[in-house]
Structure 1
Amino acid sequence: MTGIYLSGTGNTEHCIKKLFFLLDKTAPAVPMEQKDAIHLLSQHDFIVFAYPVQFSNVPVMVKDFIKSQPDLWKGKKILCVATMGLFSGDGAGCSARLLKKYGAKIVGGFHIRMPDSVCDVKLLKKTFQENREIIRKADRKIEKCAEEIRKGRYPKNGLHLYNRIAGLLCQRLWYYSKTKSYSDQLKISNACTGCGLCTRLCPADNLTLKNGKAAAGKHCTMCYRCISSCPARAITLLGHTVIEQCRYDKYIQNGKKNEPLK
């Protein structure tokens, strides 16, 4: 068993690593941008594929990762894991359908609600304690999922027709333009100090330093990693002001990330 994930603010990384901590502590889970990720996946028959949902759809970077290796997925058993701020309908089903086209066997789908990660829009913002409670519930759900998987029973979140209809009608149909391609809307204000942190964090290599300031390209995958980490709060995407830098680690006060909050 191995895992591959895209994680912007730490939500998805936590979820897949906690699941592996409970199922098999020796199983590797690596970020999608890691150079040897494809080689690692080719060595395993069971893959956990995890990512954050965007407007009830799969991030473009995730779609491209799947499409770029069409032969890799043939015959692989895959559990699709989707993290979300509130609702996705068929978040796991979106990648499951694409992977099936390339010959993968989808064993299950798993939806996990985590704290909202959109830093520059007020919608869905919660208090610190509310977000901690969301993580507590997510941890419990992952623990129950691990128990069921050990018994050979996999969750089927987002894999049914009614899930697909819900995802389509509630979000994807209306916001398809935001997820059909990479975004060129990343904005960097004069507050940028040119520290270069965002250029090192970006999984899509969409940020560079020019004349001592960060500069954005046209291939933003909307993961919000740079926005949530910029020390100057100089980067925005959907909004124009950073409301809150939402990162998983800020809600964790005990030292072991794979253990539930107390």
Structure 2
Amino acid sequence: MKTLYFTGTGNSLYLAKQIGGELFSIPQLIKDKTYNIEDDVVGFVVPCYYYTLPRLVEKYIRQANIKADYVFLILNNGGGGIVAAMTIIENLFKEKGFTHYYLNKIVMVDNFLPCYDMIYEKKVKNNQLLEPEITKIKEDIHNKLEFNIDEPIKDYHNLPEYNLNELHMDQIDEDYTIDLDSCNGCGICVKVCPVGNIKLENTIPNFFHYCEWCMSCIHNCPKRAIHIKNEINDERFINSDISLNEIIRSNEQ
């Protein structure tokens, strides 16, 4: 089994490690131009962004030559609605010719700072609480259960949430600011960015407007020097069972 993942703050990597199989970071597969994936079982463990897949994940699935008898995708989000995410994913899987698949979701800490309070999120959600759900998902995958946790949504293209991703993604890093008194030019933000959107210029991070909005740079900054407009507070989150080095190895471009 091959398990492909995309992670900004460690949640999807934690899930992928729990589910098992041979793990592959999608940003690194893209970097290495590895698009041929073959196994009896191929899975994806990814976050939900704006009610659908992260752009780089969807692009990778569309471009990849995936040969598998059984395919799964586990979506993690903060507990809010995912609207038509599973419908979009199921349609994508059908376009790719997948006939036996499993689609499920799991609630974890949501790192989207303008909407979620990290102090509260970390207080009420932890990896230990997820063990029964993860065990059930692993059993389902082992038994090659065919499943979609959500009912299909007809005419989702007309929903106001649909395509919000594409409308705003190329501008959102304009909402980022750098606290120059705190930033020490360590370059961790550059290393954890999965799309190479950040470069240091005179030791100051500069953003190039193709952000994936994973917020890995913000949450992993050791000085809490990167901020986004309207964040609830300056508390930050990294999955407690995932190290910064693991996130760097997963994302560095």
TM-score (norm 1): 0.77
Letter in 1 for 2:8: G
Contact 1:74 1:103 in 2 (8 A): no
Q: Which residue of 1 aligns with 2:75?
A: 82
- Distance, in Å, in 2 between the alignment partners of 1:243 and 1:147 is 39
- Distance, in Å, in 2 between the alignment partners of 1:165 and 1:136 is 36
- Distance, in Å, in 2 between the alignment partners of 1:64 and 1:148 is 27
Match of 2:60 among 51, 57, 65: 65
- Distance, in Å, in 1 between the alignment partners of 2:225 and 2:216 is 13
For the structure 1 residues 127 and 73, does the alpha-carbon distance in structure 2 shift closer, same or farther, using more than 3 Å as the test? closer
Letter in 2 for 1:73: I
Match of 1:146 among 131, 138, 143: 138
Letter in 2 for 1:77: Y
Task: Give structure 1 regions of 4+ aligned residues with deviation exceeding 6 angstroms.
Answer: 166-169
* Secondary structure class of the residue paired with 1:9: coil
Q: How many Å apart are 1:110 and its aligned residue?
A: 1.2
Match of 1:198 among 168, 182, 189: 189
Q: Which residue of 1 aligns with 2:251?
A: none
Q: Which residue of 1 aligns with 2:165?
A: 178
- Cα offsets for 1:180-212 (capped at 9, x unmatched): 563332213124321100101111111111111
* Secondary structure class of the residue paired with 1:192: coil
- Distance, in Å, in 1 between the alignment partners of 2:220 and 2:34 is 30
Q: How does 1:149-168 map to 2 (within 5 A)?
A: 149-158=141-150, 160-161=151-152, 164=153
For the structure 1 residues 28 and 219, does the alpha-carbon distance in structure 2 shift closer, same or farther, using more than 3 Å as the test? same
- Distance, in Å, in 1 between the alignment partners of 2:22 and 2:68 is 20
Unpaired stretches in structure 2, ≥5 consecutive residues? 244-253
Aligned residues: 237
Q: Which residue of 1 aligns with 2:89?
A: 95
- Distance, in Å, in 2 between the alignment partners of 1:235 and 1:165 is 40
Unpaired stretches in structure 1, ≥5 consecutive residues? 21-26, 253-262
Q: How many Å apart are 1:76 and its aligned residue?
A: 5.5
* Secondary structure class of the residue paired with 1:119: coil
* Secondary structure class of the residue paired with 2:43: strand
Letter in 2 for 1:115: V
- Distance, in Å, in 1 between the alignment partners of 2:17 and 2:28 is 16
Letter in 1 for 2:39: H
- Cα offsets for 1:108-144 (capped at 9, x unmatched): 1010100121235445862543122xx3332210101
- Distance, in Å, in 1 between the alignment partners of 2:57 and 2:125 is 26
Residues 1:226 and 2:217 are matched in the alignment:
yes
For the structure 1 residues 54 and 124, does the alpha-carbon distance in structure 2 shift closer, same or farther, using more than 3 Å as the test? farther
Q: Which residue of 2 aligns with 1:188?
A: 177
- Cα offsets for 1:197-233 (capped at 9, x unmatched): 0101111111111111111111110111111111222
> Cα RMSD (Å) of the superposition?
3.1
Q: How many Å apart are 1:179 and its aligned residue?
A: 4.3
* Identity across the alignment (%): 20
Letter in 2 for 1:197: I
Letter in 1 for 2:72: L
Which structure has more strand as a fraction of its residues? 2
Q: Which residue of 2 aligns with 1:11?
A: 11
